[in-house]
Chains A and B, each alone.
Chain A
Amino acid sequence: MRIAMVTPYPPSQGSLNEYAFHFIRFLRQKPEVSEIFILSDRLPDAATYPADTVAQPGLAPLHIVPCWRFGALDNALRIARTARALAPDMVLFNIQFASFGSSKPAAALGLLAPAMVRAAGLPAIVLLHNIMETVDLKSAGFGANPLVERLIRAFGAITTRVLLSADLLAVTIPRYVEILEHKYGATNVLLAPHGAFDEAPPPSFEPPPGPLQIMTFGKFGTYKKIEPLVAAFRLLLETRHDLELVIAGTDSPNAPGYLEGVRLANADLAGIRFTGYVAEEDVPRIFQDAGVVVFPYTSTTGSSGVLHQAGNYGRAVVLPRMGDLAELIAEEGYTGEFFEPDNPQSLAEALARLLDDPAQRRAMGTQNYLAACGLPMAEVVEWYILHAQNVLKIRNARRVARSRELVKR
């Protein structure tokens, strides 16, 4: 099977680039896959992607085709045109609502791509990492004006219907399947869990000696805001001095300059460290060094890759008590300590409960490790291949039936 995948891909900093990196790493190893094309975004400053890799024993050849640009209005057209020229057997999309731009027109127009690919006669499977129905628009800053909120929701519903025109639409959380089935009457939505990036050996559940690290990881500035975490850290420093706060990652492409602003505003604070971009080879160390991993989210956004990584490395986690997040992570077998969103006092208390209780940290890390091991991404990729084969089988059967019908006439 020749597969094209529409996604940001490292060194692109676009969201979901890391998910794509691991997904493709495993996809290349599958004997059913003969060739992979990554339809990625163009890199800024004339930077280039690594050269194509040829077939190696046990690895499908990989071609990176930069054909769209974050923020452009004609991305769907460019993607459909490129996909048609490559003529793969299946086009996969690894996207979320803001994958194609930070402005609403660019984001919405880009999401027409799966429908246009299908219109070009190619089968398409969309992995949608968030759904509009669970985005907390108030937290995202659109709640003040009810009319604006209603308009955004209406456009979100239209966009979702367009996305549902794909052969299959996969989401990572069980509840999302049910929401889309009930609201849109969809029959082509399926659950494809996130999966753990690495089958890591049993980790050490103990942090290394030295100051205990409170770590947060990701792309910050939109729905991941670190101000309450920094404020909670200040509260903790009033009673203890053996702590370090590590902000690992970069600005979200939709919030350039965000982290630098927070850093300048807290220049007086000792014990806070901004790592900047974390290269793939440094990710294990970042997690292994952490005593606790914090998720300073202001809205729920689907299954968290960072949660799966924290699980992989056997870390205890602190999450916001928001929507049905607690239930959602429990459905995946994870557990965490919870705090009230945007409440530094509550976050400091949640952190203190774990910092003061090494046994609880170990127990939580162990459960999260077992949950992460439950479904490695290598197997999730297998799920996609089985569903893709099913889609192709159905399409072929329809084609044969149509041909017979024509012969009869």
Chain B
Amino acid sequence: MDLNLSEHIVRTVVIAPSQRIDAFNAPELRAALDQQIEGGARRFVLDLTNVPFLDSAGMAVLVRLLKRARDQGGDVRLVWPTEEAARRIIRLTKFDRVFTMAETAAAALVDF
């Protein structure tokens, strides 16, 4: 019997920032994520568990990643931050209805 076996390894990049993501340091995260996209990554888990604060400029970085990943046939999962100051902007912008959200990075990886 001919078994034409092949193995597909799908790469998922997990990024877990641990500082605030605001207008002043969002460009740094943006550059890091752009580098990953340009390096061929398409599927991302952004683990925000330890992010103490996120503002709309930070949110924009996540949305831009989602857009770029989806344009390339990939997607992004977000892990809820534990700090209310960071959760607030995700709820206010209703992006918890656009991103697939998870409680932990492990759950987000399983979901892909």
Contacts and interface: CB of A to CB of B under 8 A. Distances in A.
A332 B94 CA distance: 17
Contacts of B24: 333, 370
B89 A333 contact: no
A331 B67 CA distance: 25
B89 A191 contact: yes
B67 A193 contact: no
Contacts of B97: 390
B41 interface: no
Contacts of A375: 23, 56-57, 60
A43 B98 CA distance: 39
Contact of A193 (B22, B56, B66): B56
Contact of A379 (B22, B63, B92, B98): B63
B9 to A, nearest CB: 29
A382 B61 CA distance: 12
Given A370-B24, A373-B23, A375-B23, 15 more contacts: A174-B89, A177-B92, A178-B92, A190-B94, A191-B89, A332-B55, A333-B24, A371-B23, A374-B57, A382-B63, A383-B60, A383-B63, A383-B93, A386-B98, A387-B94
Interface in A375-393: 375, 379-380, 382-383, 386-387, 390
A177 to B, nearest CB: 5
Closest 9 CB pairs of A and B: A374-B57, A374-B23, A190-B94, A191-B92, A333-B23, A193-B56, A177-B92, A379-B60, A191-B93
A274 B80 CA distance: 51
Interface residues of A, number: 23
27 contacts: A168-B94, A174-B88, A174-B92, A177-B92, A190-B92, A190-B94, A192-B93, A332-B55, A332-B56, A333-B23, A333-B55, A370-B23, A370-B24, A373-B23, A374-B56, A375-B56, A379-B60, A379-B64, A380-B60, A382-B64, A382-B67, A383-B63, A386-B66, A386-B67, A387-B94, A390-B97, A390-B98
A212 to B, nearest CB: 28
Interface string A171-195: 0001001100000000000111100
B26 interface: yes
Nearest to A332: B56
A139 B26 CA distance: 38
* Size range of the chain B interface in the assembly: 10 to 19
A337 to B, nearest CB: 20
B45 to A, nearest CB: 19
A307 to B, nearest CB: 14
Interface string A137-155: 0000000000000000000
Interface string B56-72: 11001001101100000
B98 A387 contact: yes
Interface string A353-374: 0000000000000000011011
Contacts of A168: 94
A174 B23 CA distance: 16
A309 to B, nearest CB: 16
Interface string A152-175: 000000000000000010000010
